[in-house]
Amino acid sequence: MTPNPNESSLEEFHLQVKRPVVSEKPEKIEIVYVNVFIYSAYHIFALYGLYLSFTSVKWPTIILGIILWTLSILGTTMGSHRLWSHRAYKANLPLQIFLMICTSIACQLTSYNWVRDHRMHHKYSDTNADPHNAKRGFFFSHMGWLLIKKHTEMKRLGNTIYMDDVHSNPVLMFQKKYAIPFMGSLCFIIPVLIPIYFWNESFVNAWNFNILRFILGVHSICSINSFAHLFGTRPYDENIMPVENIGVSLVTLGEGFHNYHHSFPWDYKAGELGNNWLNFSTATIDFFAKLGWAYDLKTASDAVVEARIKRTGDGTYKREDIKESDRGKKQKNIGL
Ligand SMILES: [Zn+2]
Ligand SMILES: [Zn+2]
- Cα(143) to centroid of ligand 1, in Å? 14
Q: Give the domain ranges of the chain.
A: 29-222, 226-336
Q: Which residues contact 166 (CB under 8 A, 6 or more apart)?
A: 84, 112, 115, 116, 172, 173
Is 80 exceeded by the pLDDT of residue 16? no
Where does the pLDDT of residue 321 fall: very low under 50, low under 70, confident under 90, or very high at 90 and above?
Answer: low
SS3 225: helix
Residues within 5 A (CB) of ion ligand 1: 242
- Tell me the CA distances in angstroms from 108 to 34, 64, 104, 281, one per residue in order: 17, 19, 8, 18
Residue 332: per-residue pLDDT? 39
- Cα(190) to centroid of ligand 1, in Å? 32
Determine contact, residues 210/191, Cβ cutoff 8 Å.
yes
Is 50 exceeded by the pLDDT of residue 257? yes
- Cα(170) to centroid of ligand 1, in Å? 27
Between the CA atoms of 158, 132, 237 and 82, what dihedral angle is there, to the nearest 10 degrees? -70
Residue 264: nearest ligand to its CA?
A: 2
Where does the pLDDT of residue 133 fall: very low under 50, low under 70, confident under 90, or very high at 90 and above?
Answer: very high
Report angle CA 296, 298, 302 to the nearest 5 degrees: 140
Determine contact, residues 31/148, Cβ cutoff 8 Å.
yes
Cα–Cα distance, 283 to 147 (Å, whole number): 34
> What does the DSSP assignment read for 111-126?
HHHHHHHHHHHHHTTT
Cα–Cα distance, 17 to 2 (Å, whole number): 9
Cα–Cα distance, 319 to 322 (Å, whole number): 6
- Cα(225) to centroid of ligand 1, in Å? 6
The 10s digit of each residue's pLDDT in 33-73 is 999 999 999 999 999 999 999 999 999 999 999 999 999 99
